[in-house]
Amino acid sequence: MAEASALLFAYCETPVHAGTGRAVGTVDLPIQRERITGFPIAQASSVKGVLRATTQANGADAERHRALFGPDRPEEASTHAGALQVTDLQVVLFPVRSLAGVFAWTTSPAVLARLVRLAKLAGIEGPVDPTRFAGLQPGQCAVANGSALLTPAGQQVGVVLEEYSFTLAGELAGLVSALAEWLVALALPQTPEYAWWRENLAKHLCVLPDDEFRDFVLYATEIEAHVRLKDETKTVEPGALWTTETLPAETLLVGLLATTRSRYDKVNEDGRALLGWLTGKLDGRRVRLGGDETTGRGAVVLRVARV
Amino acid sequence: MRERPRPDQPRGNGRPPQRGEARPRSGGRSGPPRDRDRSAEHADGERGRPHPLLPSATRMLWNSVRNQVANPGLLFDRFAPEAAVFGDRTEATPRRDFLREVIAAAERLAKDALAEQILVRWEATVRAAGAEPCSVELESRLVSGLGAHGPLEIGFRFDRLGFPVLPGSGLKGVARAYAHLVERRNESDPDFLAVFGRVPRSGEAHEVGQAGALVFFDAYPEPGWRLELDVMTPHYPDYYSGKEPPTPWQNPKPITFLAVAPGTRYRLAIGLRQGVSDPDGRLRQLALGWLRNGLAQLGFGAKTTSGYGVFRNRE
C-alpha cells in the first residue's frame, strides 16, 4: 500500500520518440499508445528507467536510491523490491497548429477526468470538475476569454485547428481559465525561460470534445522522414528511408509516483521521506525520455506536484 | 511562350493530381504538343473553387484572417489553393502568390514574441545538456525537406510552430560525412566511434553496437530570419519523366519553391547524452568543429551541388 504519492509532469521541449520499435502501419517507427483510447503514452518501465538513471547518487543517498528503485545488480534482484511505483505517462496537453495564435494546447473532458483521478490519488484537488464540460458538442470547443486562438469572421467567431474549424461553446471560458491557472501553478516549469509559457497557457488552451481530441493525437503527431546517405555518393542507401513518429514539442504528460515504506534493510524510512528525497532530485530537472536522444529528441522538464 | 502542360484531370474525382500525367497523348506518338482542350477551364483562369477540400466553415474563417496567420507551416501544408497545386501560367500565378503568402506568414512569426522566447528556452535546454551553443551564418539559400509530402509536391521543413529548423539528425549526418570524407576517419578511430556511435552491420553481434556520446540538437534560426521565393526550371520535363528524348519543343517548366534566405543565422548546439561525461569538453569541441566545417564545405539540406545550404565558417 502506497504511503505517499505525487503527480509527475513531463513537459516536452523537443519532439519525444517513446517508440514501440516496429509497426505494420504507415509509419515505420510509431510511438507508444494506449490500446483502448489510442492516446499517446510513455510506458512506466521507460519512465522508471529514466528516473533511476537521473537520480543515481553516492553515499547515504545511494542506499536511499536502492531502497526506492531496487538493487542495481541482477544477482541481488531477489533480495528486496523497490519502494517506488511509477505509472505510464499520459497526455494532458497536445499542441495542434492553429490559424490564429500559431498553436493551441488541446485537451478533452476524458483527459481531464483522468487527470483529476490521478490528482486525487496524490491527494491534490483537481483543476476542474470534468463533468462540467459534458455539454461540449461535436464541432465545438472551449477557450478562455481573450484567447489568442479566436478567428473572427463577420458576426461569427471560431477556432481553426489544422484545417478543422470549431465554434465556441458558451459559458465555459471561466472553467478554461481555472484549468490554465492550475496547470501553470502545478505542471509548467517555474524557471525564468518559461515565463512566456506561463503567461500564455490560458490564451492558447482549448478544450475539445473527446472524439476530436483523439483524432488530433492519432493523426496530427509529428512524422519525420529520415534517409541514410552514402558518404561517397550522397545518394540514399538502399532501403534506408524510414519515417519516425514523435510527440511534438510542447506536449504535456502526467503520471503518478507512489512510494511505500523502504523494504531495504539498510534504509529505515517511510514512503513520505523517500518521496520527499526523490522530489528534491526530480523537481525542475531536465531529463531525456525515449529514443533518438543523440539527434536531439526526448528533452523533457519534470515537475513533481505533491501535498 | 505557350502555356506549359499541366495535369488535366476532372475535378472532384477524389484522386490527387499525379506527376507525369501531364497531357493526353495522341495515339502514343511523340512530337510537338498540340493545342489542348480548354473547355474545362473557367474564364478567369482559376479552375474550380479555391479550396475544394477545406470544410466550408474553415474556408470562411480562413478568408477573414488570411493576412494575419503566423504559422507558415500550417499554411503551407493545409491551405494551398487548388490552383496553386497545378502551378503558374502566363496569365495567372496562383502558386507564386500562395508561396508569397507563406513567406509573409513566416515574417509575422519571426516578429512574434514566441520567436524570441523559443530561442531563450532552446538555450536553456541545450545548456542543461552541457552544450555551449554557437551561431553560424547562412551564405547561400538553404532548402530542406524538399521530399516531404504536401500539396505542392515540393516540400519544406517547418517544425510544429512553423520555424525552419535544421533537424539534429541532418546535422549529425553532415558532421559525420565531414569527419569521414575530409578527415578520413572511420569507426576504427576512437573519437569518431565515441561521437557517432555504431550500428552493428548484418552478421555482426548485437554487442558491437553503441550509441553516440553526443547529442546534436535541432538548430533554431535567430531573430531576423527570412524565407525567400526560389525557382528551378527544368527545360526538358518530358525527358526527366522518361517519356521523350530532350527535344527542343518541350516547354521549360518554372517550378517555384521556398528557401531560407542567405544571411539567416542559426544557433547550433552539441550536448552530452545522459550519463556520459566529457569533462574538458574535448569531444564536443571536436564534433562542433566537424559540424561547422561540414556546414561550410559540404553544405546542409538539398541541392548542395547547386550551391545551396552553405554556411560561413566563422561566428
Q: Which three cell numbers stand for residue A18?
A: 517513446
> pLDDT tens digit string along A263-302?
888 888 888 888 999 999 899 999 999 888 888 899 999 9
Cell of B148: 516531404
In a domain, B114, yes or no: yes
Cβ neighbours of B160 in A, within 8 Å: 95, 97, 103, 222, 248-250
Distance from CA of A53 to the nearest CA of B (A): 8
Confidence of residue B291 (pLDDT cuts 50, 70, 90): very high
Asked if residues B258 and B76 have their Cβ atoms less than 8 Å apart, the reply is yes
Measure the CA angle with vertex A148, ends A147 and A150; round to 5°: 75
Cell numbers that stand for A215 in this block: 483524432
pLDDT above 90 (res A206): yes
Model confidence at B4, in pLDDT bands (50, 70, 90)? very low
Is the predicted pLDDT of residue B118 greater than 90, yes or no?
yes
Domain presence at residue B98: yes
Number of domains making up chain A: 1
Q: What is the pLDDT of residues B28-44, one digit of tens each?
A: 444 444 444 443 444 34
Closest-CA residue of B relative to A100 is: B69
Average pLDDT on B258-264 reads 92
Domain that holds residue A149: 95-219
Which residue stretches of chain A are H helix?
44-54, 59-69, 109-121, 173-186, 195-204, 210-219, 271-282
Chain A and chain B share a number of CB contacts under 8 A equal to 145
pLDDT range class, residue B23, cuts 50, 70, 90:
very low
Q: Is residue B126 part of a domain?
A: yes
| Mean local confidence (pLDDT), B191-196 | 84
Q: Do B274 and A53 count as a contact with CB atoms less than 8 A apart?
A: yes
| Under 8 Å between Cβ of A115 and A125 | no
Cα separation, B108 vs A278, in Å, equals 43
Contact B159 A292 (CB under 8 A): no
A75-128: pLDDT as tens digits = 887 888 888 999 999 999 999 999 999 999 999 999 999 999 999 999 998 888
Cβ–Cβ contact A36 with B under 8 A: no
Number of independent structural domains in chain B: 1
The model's pLDDT over A145-156, given as tens digits with 9 standing for 90+, comes to 989 999 888 788
Indicate the pTM of the whole model: 0.87
Task: Identify the CA nearest to B11 among candidates B43, B46, B36.
Answer: B46
Phi, psi of A167 (to 5 degrees): -95, 165
Residue of chain B minimizing CA distance to A149: B69
Q: What does the block give as the cell for B82?
A: 487548388
Answer whether A103 sits within 8 Å of B160, measured CB to CB. yes
pLDDT at B163 over 90: yes
Of A148, A211, A196, nearest to A176 (Cα)?
A: A148
pLDDT at residue B315, as a whole number: 57
B-chain CB neighbours of A100 within 8 Å are 65, 68-69
Q: How confident is the model at residue A210 (pLDDT cuts 50, 70, 90)?
A: very high
Which of the pair, B66 or A12, is modelled with greater confidence?
A12
Average pLDDT over residues B168-187: 89
Tell me the chain A residues in contact with residue B110 when contact means C-beta distances shorter than 8 Å.
none
Grid coordinates of A47 = 519512465
Closest CB from B125, B169, B304 relative to A295: B169
pLDDT-derived band at B88, boundaries 50, 70, 90: confident
Cβ atoms of residues A10 and A300 within 8 Å = yes
Question: Mutate which of B53, B102, B123, B125 to test chain A, going by most A C-beta atoms within 10 A?
Answer: B125
Distance from CA of A209 to the nearest CA of B (A): 18
Q: Give residue A41's pLDDT band: very low, low, confident or very high (50, 70, 90).
A: very high
Across A198-267, where does the E strand assignment appear? 205-207, 222-229, 236-246, 252-259
Chain A residue with minimum CA distance to B219: A296
Give the pLDDT score at B7. 41
**Nearest CA of chain B to the CA of A66: how many Å?**
18
Task: Find the CB nearest B125 among A14, A195, A293.
Answer: A14
Inside any domain, residue A269:
no
B236 in any annotated domain: no
Helix or strand run (H / E) with residue B116: helix B113-128
| Cell (9 digits) for B257 | 519553391
Q: Quickly state the pLDDT bin for B314 (edges 50, 70, 90).
A: low
pLDDT of res. A1:
64
Residue type, A37: T
Note whether A160 contacts B: Cβ–Cβ < 8 A. Answer: yes
Q: Which residues of A touch B114 (CB under 8 A)?
A: 102, 196
Distance CA A131, CA B229 (A): 50
* Residue B281, domain member (yes or no): yes
Residue B31 inside a domain? The answer is no
Instruction: Show the CA angle centred on residue B294, arms to residues B289 and B296, nearest 5°.
Output: 100
Report the pLDDT averaged over residues A41-49: 91
Nearest to B265 by CA among B297, B217, B221: B221
pLDDT at B11: 37
Rounded alpha-carbon distances, angstroms, from residue B249 to A1, B19, B240, B242, B256 = 82, 20, 14, 16, 22
Phi, psi of A145 (to 5 degrees): -65, 140
Scored b (16 or more CB within 10 A) or e, B249-274 reads ebbebebbbbbbbbebbbbbbbbbbb
In a domain, A235, yes or no: no
Structural domain contains residue A30: no
Cβ neighbours of A265 (radius 10 Å)? 9
- pLDDT exceeds cutoff 80 at B45: no
Measured distance CA(B171)–CA(B174) in Å, rounded: 5
| CB–CB contact A294 B212 (8 Å) | yes
pLDDT for position A251:
95
Candidates B86, B115, B105; CA nearest to B17 is: B86
Domain assignment of residue A283, yes or no? no
The answer to whether position A167 is within a domain reads yes
Please work out, in degrees rounded to the nearest 5, the angle formed at the alpha carbon of residue A62 by the alpha carbons of A58 and A63: 145
Residue of A13, A234, A287 lying closest to B121 (CB–CB): A13
Would you state the pLDDT for residue A80? 83
At residue B252, does pLDDT exceed 70? yes
Q: Look at B2 and A263; give whichever has higher pLDDT.
A: A263
Q: What pLDDT is recorded for position B136?
A: 92
Q: What is the pLDDT of residue A203?
A: 94
Of residues B116 and B237, which shows the higher confidence score?
B116
A231–B215: do the CB atoms touch at under 8 Å? no
pLDDT at B47 over 60: no
Given a cut of 90, whether residue B131 has pLDDT beyond it is: no
Q: Which domain holds residue B90?
A: 66-228+254-312
